[in-house]
């Protein structure tokens, strides 16, 4: 008999989504604010259930679902992002008529990501990948009166559909050469795949499919437009959550299913990681839209995380997995801080209304919205890797693992990139604190403040007291070795 309690977090998320959808249609727009609190509570409950289940190891449903350290850690990442996003969205969806659709889509997307983290079978992995993708396509175009939102959603959808097809094509080659879709069974039957050219084709197709979600250069074309055009709370979900889904899928498929082809994908990831981090950082320097800048910086961060595939020591995998959680808090929080500024610009009707997230909107934010400015400072410094933040710990583990494994060249490129990134992060801080404000001091809406505080707490706790998180990341890395 299957122990359904192991799936309690997933069931909680889905049940909350369905309940919100059902009661939402019977409510008037003014009372729909309750739905946001309900969604946040559901995600929080799922988060607690996930943390309680750490250390459990089980295989379910004819070995298609695997509950292990890796899956539980990534569920923690996705639920943390979902919590930040759903709390902040209480304000974003205020007086909206479509609150229930928004939260249901967020929760279903989170559910899809959680199933990807647990997937032990390529078909289940693909279905869950699609569930999360379809929900986020709709979320990206949620502001249907806003042409930029629609443009971003359209690009995301078209490129997403093509990359899903490539991924499925890759899966079909793997299935054809091994005769199974179960991840452990593929690793056992990979002898033919490893020696025939089909193996290379499959690896290339799978990297293209996952690389789209991870937004690695050259599969990143959609990312800046979509992150900029989507509502900021949705960009937060995309950059902090959905991107990690690509990583956990790649961890499972490449490291667990295709170790026989390690030489090939390791080489590909080495090139992708270096190109991605350099491209992201160099292009981010010249951006004037903060959301676009964060989008390119999130490309760069994906490049750092991809180093885990290149170094492939237990320490590197620990660092990469730890980095995903750190990045979830830093990037998720940074987009929420941008959402706060966009809200300020659109309600005050001052500044650049066409590009509300323009760098100029951040002028004197330290005076007008001290909490938003302070938390944004924490996030960007963490992204740059200033000590005593989550970003520093993550980079420390990851970069030193590269040096230990004798890949000093990779560590040098990554450190140089980090130094470059400090330039555009510091410029944002300069705008917030050293330039005069344009308006008066404004009260911070409670949901945004609460969401920012959760993210700041995450970044600082992971910086000052990283041991439990590193331990969890190490347990997750154990699964892969």
Partner 1 sequence: MSEIIDSYIPVAIFLVVALVMPPMTMFMVKQLSPRSRAAGKYTTYESGSVPTGTARIQFNVEYYLYAIAFVLFDVEVLFLYPWVTVYKGHGITSIAIVEMFIFVFILLFGYIYLWKKEALTWVK
Q: Any idea of the CA torsion for 332, 333, 337, 340, to the nearest 10 degrees?
A: 70
> Which one of residues 25, 349, 440, 467 is an interface residue with partner 1 (CB under 8 A)?
25
- 197 or 443: CB nearest partner 1: 197
Contact 140, 238 (CB under 8 A): yes
- 22 or 419: CB nearest partner 1: 22
The binding track of 2-21 with respect to partner 1, each residue x by CB under 8 A or -, is ----------------x--x
Q: Residue 375 is encoded by which pair of tokens? A: 């938390």
Residue 56 gets which letter from DSSP? -
Contact 242, 109 (CB under 8 A): yes
- 23 or 461: CB nearest partner 1: 23
User: Which listed range, 22-30, 347-355, 364-372, 398-406, lies at the site for partner 1 (CB under 8 A)?
Assistant: 22-30
How far is CA 299 from each of CA 188, 272, 360, 439, rounded to the nearest angstrom? 34, 11, 23, 33
Question: Is residue 179 classed as helix, strand or coil in its secondary structure?
Answer: coil
Contact 139, 230 (CB under 8 A): yes
How far is CA 348 from each of CA 31, 221, 288, rounded to the nearest angstrom? 25, 33, 21
Q: Residue 141 is encoded by which pair of tokens? A: 């175009």
- The least distance separating partner 1 from the CB of residue 150, rounded to whole angstroms, comes to 17
- 202 or 341: CB nearest partner 1: 202
* 3-class SS letters over 93-140: CCCCCCHHHHHHHHHHHHHHHHHHHHECEHHHHHHHHHHHHHHHHHHH
- The least distance separating partner 1 from the CB of residue 62, rounded to whole angstroms, comes to 13
- The least distance separating partner 1 from the CB of residue 196, rounded to whole angstroms, comes to 10
- 87 or 139: CB nearest partner 1: 139
Rounded Cα–Cα distance for residues 202 and 211 (Å)? 14
- 19 or 405: CB nearest partner 1: 19
- 1 or 481: CB nearest partner 1: 1
Rounded Cα–Cα distance for residues 114 and 93 (Å)? 24
Q: What is the CA radius of gyration of the chain?
A: 21
- 26 or 436: CB nearest partner 1: 26
- The least distance separating partner 1 from the CB of residue 449, rounded to whole angstroms, comes to 33
The binding track of 295-334 with respect to partner 1, each residue x by CB under 8 A or -, is ----------------------------------------
| Residue 218 buriedness (CB in 10 A; 0-12 / 13-18 / 19+) | exposed
Using rule CB under 8 A, residue 443 touches partner 1: no
- The least distance separating partner 1 from the CB of residue 18, rounded to whole angstroms, comes to 5
Using rule CB under 8 A, residue 28 touches partner 1: no
Q: Residue 341 is encoded by which pair of tokens? A: 């500024």
> Which one of residues 26, 30, 349, 443 is an interface residue with partner 1 (CB under 8 A)?
26
Overall size of the chain counted in residues:
481
> Which one of residues 28, 145, 197, 349 is an interface residue with partner 1 (CB under 8 A)?
197
Q: Extract long-range pairs of 162-168: CB within 8 Å, 24+ residues apart.
A: 163/208, 163/209, 163/211, 163/212, 163/213, 163/219, 164/126, 164/129, 164/130, 164/133, 164/209, 166/205, 166/208, 166/209, 167/126, 167/129, 167/205, 167/206, 167/208, 167/209, 167/210, 168/126, 168/209
How far is CA 133 from each of CA 108, 112, 249, rounded to the nearest angstrom? 10, 8, 13
- The least distance separating partner 1 from the CB of residue 197, rounded to whole angstroms, comes to 8
- 126 or 212: CB nearest partner 1: 126
Q: How many residues bind partner 1 (CB under 8 A)?
A: 6
- 68 or 101: CB nearest partner 1: 101
- The least distance separating partner 1 from the CB of residue 84, rounded to whole angstroms, comes to 27
Rounded Cα–Cα distance for residues 363 and 356 (Å)? 12
- The least distance separating partner 1 from the CB of residue 181, rounded to whole angstroms, comes to 18
Helix 69-92 vs helix 314-348: crossing angle, to nearest 10: 10
- The least distance separating partner 1 from the CB of residue 395, rounded to whole angstroms, comes to 43
- 197 or 436: CB nearest partner 1: 197
- The least distance separating partner 1 from the CB of residue 264, rounded to whole angstroms, comes to 18
Q: Extract long-range pairs of 185-189: CB within 8 Å, 24+ residues apart.
A: 186/122, 186/257, 186/258, 187/256, 187/257, 187/258, 187/259, 187/260
Using rule CB under 8 A, residue 22 touches partner 1: yes
Contact 365, 337 (CB under 8 A): no
- The least distance separating partner 1 from the CB of residue 22, rounded to whole angstroms, comes to 6
- The least distance separating partner 1 from the CB of residue 21, rounded to whole angstroms, comes to 6
The binding track of 50-69 with respect to partner 1, each residue x by CB under 8 A or -, is --------------------
- 21 or 45: CB nearest partner 1: 21
Contact residues: partner 1, CB under 8 A? 18, 21-22, 25-26, 197
């Amino acid at each position: 008999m299957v122990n359904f309690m192991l799936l309690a977090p997933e069931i909680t998320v889905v049940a909350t989504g369905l309940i919100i959808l059902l009661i939402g249609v019977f409510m008037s727009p003014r009372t729909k604010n309750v739905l946001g609190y309900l969604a946040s509570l559901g995600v929080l409950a799922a988060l607690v259930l996930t943390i309680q289940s750490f250390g459990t190891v089980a295989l379910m449903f004819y070995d298609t679902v695997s509950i292990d350290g890796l899956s539980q850690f990534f569920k923690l990442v996705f639920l943390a992002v979902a919590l930040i996003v759903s709390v902040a969205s209480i304000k974003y969806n205020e007086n909206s008529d479509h609150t229930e659709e928004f939260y249901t889509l967020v929760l279903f997307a989170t559910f899809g990501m959680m199933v990807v983290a647990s997937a032990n079978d390529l078909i289940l992995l693909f279905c869950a990948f699609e569930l999360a993708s379809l929900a986020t396509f709709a979320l990206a175009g949620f502001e249907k009166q806003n042409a930029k939102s629609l443009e971003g959603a359209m690009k995301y959808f078209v490129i997403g559909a093509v990359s899903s097809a490539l991924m499925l094509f890759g899966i079909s080659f793997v299935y054809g050469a091994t005769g199974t879709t179960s991840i452990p069974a593929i690793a056992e039957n990979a002898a033919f795949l490893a020696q025939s050219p089909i193996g290379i084709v499959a690896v290339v197709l799978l990297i293209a499919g996952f690389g789209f979600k991870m937004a690695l250069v050259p599969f990143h074309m959609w990312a800046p437009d979509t992150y900029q055009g989507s509502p900021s709370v949705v960009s937060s979900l995309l950059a902090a959550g959905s991107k990690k889904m690509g990583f956990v899928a790649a961890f499972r498929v490449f490291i667990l299913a295709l170790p026989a082809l390690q030489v090939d994908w390791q080489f590909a990831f080495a090139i992708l990681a270096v190109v991605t981090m350099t491209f992201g950082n160099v292009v981010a320097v010249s951006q004037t839209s903060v959301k676009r800048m964060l989008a390119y910086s999130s490309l760069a961060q994906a490049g750092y995380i991809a180093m885990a595939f290149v170094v492939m020591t237990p320490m590197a995998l620990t660092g990469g997995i730890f980095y995903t959680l750190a990045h979830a808090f830093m990037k998720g929080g940074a987009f929420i801080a941008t959402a706060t500024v966009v809200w300020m610009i659109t309600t005050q009707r001052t500044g650049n209304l066409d590009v509300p997230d323009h760098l100029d909107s951040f002028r004197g934010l330290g005076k007008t919205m001290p909490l938003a400015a302070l938390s944004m400072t924490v996030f960007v410094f963490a992204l740059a890797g200033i000590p005593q933040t989550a970003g520093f710990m993550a980079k420390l583990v990851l970069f030193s693992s590269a040096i230990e494994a004798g890949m000093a060249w990779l560590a040098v490129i990554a450190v140089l990139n980090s130094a470059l990134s400090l330039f555009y992060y510091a410029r944002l801080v300069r705008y917030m604190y050293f330039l005069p404000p344009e308006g008066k001091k404004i009260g911070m809406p409670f949901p945004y403040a609460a969401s920012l505080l959760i993210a700041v707490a995450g970044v600082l706790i992971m910086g000052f007291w990283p041991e439990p998180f590193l331990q969890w990341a190490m347990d997750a890395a154990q699964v892969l070795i």
